[in-house]
Chain A
Amino acid sequence: MASSPDYSVKDDVQLVRAAKKGSLAAFEELVARHRDKIYARAFSMMRNEDEALDLSQEAWIKAWQRLQQFHGDSSFATWMTRIVINLCLDQLRKQKRQRAESIEVMEEEVGGVERYMAPVTVNPTKGLEKAELRERIDKAMAQLSVAHRTVLILHEFEGLEYKEVAKRMNCSIGTVMSRLFYARRRMAGLMAAYKKEELNP
């Protein structure tokens, strides 16, 4: 009787090849390897644990169905991240259609207080441990609007160019520039405020 191969010692390329031939065990190993990253990306966009779980699992199912379309032009993790981001964007669009436009959304295009805010001069991350810094970034990201958070994720974490971000967000390059600018400024402002709180509790 032939024993099943030990997929834990194989690299992503070998696992993808085996999964393309129909091996669910190989695919399960890929899921185990990258599930945290895919879930983290979904969570950073949705800010909701249940939605992030659902969407990340849906992304894995879609990935299995489209595996033959993956030709290795990017890494498997990058390809997976794009799938989950697209699913999150679709979900956010559905949610946006269901709720009324708010003043906050209007201000995203023109900048709220960020437009007139003086540049932050202190270094808000000075003296912070890596874990503390991540915690603050996460806290600040949670305070951003959906559009601002999405543009930061696509540009800063995914490294997409303006035109790619615009395509995914279904808006103009000008809107991407505007959203990105105010999102960055708001992040800087929030991080500086946390630093101020720390210095003057």
Chain B
Amino acid sequence: MNRDQVFKVQAYLDGELTRSEAAKLEEGWLTTEAGNRLLEELRWTKDVLGENPPLQSVPETREFYWSRIERGIISAEATPPRSNLLVMDFFRRWLAPASGAALVCLLVLLAIQLFEFSPAGTANGQLARVESPSDAMDSFSFENKAEKVFVIWLYERPSEPKPEWNYVKDLMIQ
């Protein structure tokens, strides 16, 4: 049996062949015993299934089954229309992360501004703590590019709390 032949027998049974194709098959392969037997088997399966569609009853009472459908209908009607949802989806997908990123950038800029040290009378002055390899000494550096000044302030590391930024700031202003 070749695949095309058997599929043609089936298409013949299902009425999917043109009249000329059907006639050709009737005069050809369907005259053989193998062709006939296959056609009979396929016809039997088709008939028995067509006459006996599956029957299954809902395993719930009418009221219980309906109550869930009714709830689904009511909740679907309470949901905002799709057009509103699309706007919300767009906001959630694109605008929310973008505004989040913008907020982070703003905070970073503010933080830079806040921590940038500009004592009175010195524009663009920057104070930075310099890491010191010595346990006894500590240091700060101050740079003002406009004034072309670069100062390193060395001091003895106190045993008690370290000097506050304001303390150093006062020293620099003096």
- Interface residues of A, dominant DSSP: helix
CA distance A57 to B53 in the complex (A): 21
- Taking CB atoms, residues of chain A closer than 8 Å to B60 are 53
Which single residue of chain A is at the shortest CB-CB distance from B68? A57
Q: Which A residues lie at the B interface, using CB under 8 A?
A: 24, 28, 31-32, 35-36, 39-41, 43-44, 49, 52-53, 56-58, 60-61, 64-65, 119-121, 123, 125, 130, 133-134, 137-138, 141, 152, 155-157, 161-162, 177-178, 180-181, 184-185, 187-188, 191
- Taking CB atoms, residues of chain B closer than 8 Å to A185 are 41-42, 45
Taking the complex as formed, is B70 at the interface, i.e. its CB lies under 8 A from any CB of chain A?
yes
Q: Mark B51-75, 1 if CB is under 8 A from A, else 0.
A: 0111111111010011011101100
Within 8 A of A (CB), among B1-50: 3, 6-7, 10-11, 14, 16, 34, 37-38, 40-42, 44-46, 48-50
CA distance A181 to B41 in the complex (A): 11
Taking the complex as formed, is B109 at the interface, i.e. its CB lies under 8 A from any CB of chain A?
no
Number of B residues with CB within 8 Å of any CB on chain A: 37
- Taking CB atoms, residues of chain A closer than 8 Å to B72 are 57-58, 60-61
Taking the complex as formed, is B173 at the interface, i.e. its CB lies under 8 A from any CB of chain A?
no
Taking the complex as formed, is B76 at the interface, i.e. its CB lies under 8 A from any CB of chain A?
yes
How many pairs of A and B residues are in contact by the CB < 8 Å rule? 111
Which single residue of chain A is at the shortest CB-CB distance from B62? A32
Closest beta carbon of chain B to A106's beta carbon, Å = 16
B6 x A187 contact (CB < 8 A): no
A133 x B52 contact (CB < 8 A): yes
Partner of B45, one of A32, A36, A64, A187: A187
Which 5 interchain pairs have the tightest Cβ spacing? A40-B56, A61-B72, A156-B49, A119-B37, A119-B41
Partner of B73, one of A24, A53, A137: A24
CA distance A35 to B46 in the complex (A): 26
Closest beta carbon of chain A to B42's beta carbon, Å = 6
Which single residue of chain A is at the shortest CB-CB distance from B36? A119
A123 x B44 contact (CB < 8 A): yes
Known: A39-B57, A134-B52, A188-B44. A177 touches B69 (CB 8 A): no
